Structure 1
Amino acid sequence: MSVPVERRQSWDWPLQSNDEFVGLIDDDTHFEVSLEAKYFTAKEIEVKTIGDLIEIHMDHEARGNDITNVSRSITRCYKLPAGVDPSTLKSNLDKHGILRITALKHKK
């Protein structure tokens, strides 16, 4: 499944299909970004704010037999758009492996 890309603003995201950039919705009332995270479960994803930054950390490790191990780890920090209220940040991983991060903007 591919996440639609909006060209107004973009974040480089290593798991995006076809190495596309991830588009953001950044209007007067809210901010939203959708990222592909199909190799991770909700418990393996941490999204938090640090001042006006958003930090996304994903860590997955799967052990197979004696010779097979899979490990994936991604950490990215991005600057939140102007006016975003970090205290309203929410994230959700849907059944298709899409991580949606949303936040409201301060009222003017």
Structure 2
Amino acid sequence: MSSIEVTHDSASTWDWPLQHNDGVVKVHNTKDKFEVGLDVQFFTPKDIEVKVSGQDLLIHCRHESRSDSHGTIAREINRAYKLPEDVDVTSVKSHLGTRGVLTITANKKA
């Protein structure tokens, strides 16, 4: 199993909105590349772990319980995707954009 570094656009402080439509996921599988986009805006880069195990792409996001004026909150997301057989698993990269979308891309085998 290999870990994939999560690069990101900003080292700014992350805020947590009170309401949000969770679960935004986009998967694109073209002849040239495979791409997954996942809304993880409630997590900082250090809270996100991306791994490849065989043909499985594993995403784990978790932050510890935190208290605010409304109570205590903890979040955890686990996602697993079966990479298509024509994906070059050594080319997998992940990037966290400033809007909180984690984009994972991989090239197809030549």
TM range (shorter): 0.7 to 0.9
d(CA) in 1 for partners of 2:96 and 2:63?
A: 15
1:30 and 2:41 matched:
no
d(CA) in 2 for partners of 1:47 and 1:60?
A: 15
d(CA) in 1 for partners of 2:40 and 2:109?
A: 28
1:61 and 2:64 matched:
yes
CA RMSD of aligned residues (A): 2.2
| TM-score computed with the length of structure 2 as normaliser | 0.72
Give the drift of 1:62: 4.3
- How many percent identity over aligned positions? 40
d(CA) in 1 for partners of 2:40 and 2:22?
A: 7
Structure with greater proportional strand content: 2
d(CA) in 2 for partners of 1:76 and 1:63?
A: 23
Give the conservation status (yes or no) of the 8 Å contact 1:61–1:69: no
* Structure 1: gaps of 5 or more residues: 1-13
Instruction: State the number of aligned residues.
Output: 90
Higher relative contact order (CA 8 A, sep 6+): 2
* Structure 2: gaps of 5 or more residues: 1-20
